[in-house]
Structure 1
Amino acid sequence: MTNFRRYLEPIADWFNSLGTPEPIVHWGHPVMMGIVVFVMGSYVVYAGWRSRITKDGEVAMKSRADHRKLAPLMYLFITLGYTGGILSLVMQNQPIFESPHFLTGSLVIVLLGINALIAFIGFGGDNKAIMRTIHAYLGSTAMILLVIHAIFGINLGLSI
């Protein structure tokens, strides 16, 4: 794993050369990701579930459209934030792979990636209802895991 760190250190050194204040390096990732997860993420989950459970066809259509627009952006921002979190640790000369925060973040990326793939392939042809249900519960599981991830992140941030 030290080889991986070796590739990231030049990037981290460049960011460090910008003179970013230490509190921003230390707490920028959690603040920005908190906004993505708790504001954008909660709406994405709300819109997705609302489209499934409402009886009003117009509301379902609007909620599904909102979910389709925002979920890919949320995934992109979470993936970029994951990268930024790793770089933040390298910039602070901290270990990368040892924390439960890293492990939960990695699992979330995998779960959301699977969910994105399910949606991208059109929910599996003949099994659309089953695949949509898997998609809903997998996405909800990822969001619950993100809450746990945030708790681990706060503990990590306070420990360094």
Structure 2
Amino acid sequence: METLIRPYLEPIADWFSNFGTPEPIVHWGHPLMMGIVVFVMGSFAAWAGWQGRLATDSGVAVENRKNHRKIAPWLFLFISLGYTGGVLSLVMQGQPIFASAHFWTGTLAVGLLGFNGFISATKFGGNKAALRTTHAYLGSFALLILLVHAFLGLKLGLSI
């Protein structure tokens, strides 16, 4: 599979390599930026989402749901862009793409967040409680996967 995909990615990676970006930034830029996205935006999106579900004051619940709706799409966008950047970083460093658990947890997280966004975009299937609950737990699970992903990424970064 990698032999099919890598030839498409190498010209893009070569284009980025022409910027003369120092090796430590190529190596550690993805983890630093994604760490900020996951730990800051991800934790806020999860916190606001759960506060929107659990708050007993309706005004607080509405405000938190609004905050969750504002940040969650940006979180998905940055996670998706970061995923792409991480794959390109591997190509730029001459590393295999599909060989690490870090790649697969990232793929799983993007898929889960994308599916979760789809659930939300359908307005929870007409405001069905079961889909709202699925959305909440699926989003939390995706964030947990991203924490495992961060650990695996640190391990990968230290190994290459």
Give the TM-score band, short-chain normalised.
Answer: over 0.9
Give aligned-pair identity as a percent.
Answer: 64
1:128, 1:55 → 2: CA distance?
20
Instruction: Summarize deviations over 1:46-97 as a string: whole Å, max 9, x none.
Output: 0000000010111101100000010000000000000000000000000000
**Where do 4+ consecutive residues of structure 1 move more than 2 Å?**
none
1:117, 1:65 → 2: CA distance?
17
1:99, 1:111 → 2: CA distance?
19
Question: Are 2:159 and 1:159 equivalent residues in the alignment?
Answer: yes
1:13, 1:98 → 2: CA distance?
21
Q: Compute the displacement of 1:128 (Å).
A: 1.3
1:40, 1:119 → 2: CA distance?
18
Structure 1: tracts of 5 or more residues without a match: none
Please, what TM-score do these two structures have when normalized by structure 2? 0.98
Q: How many equivalent residue pairs?
A: 159
Q: Compute the displacement of 1:19 (Å).
A: 0.3
Number of the residue aligned with 2:84: 83
Number of the residue aligned with 1:124: 125
Number of the residue aligned with 2:15: 14
The 5 Å alignment of 1:76-115 reads 76-115=77-116
Structure 2: tracts of 5 or more residues without a match: none
2:29, 2:151 → 1: CA distance?
16
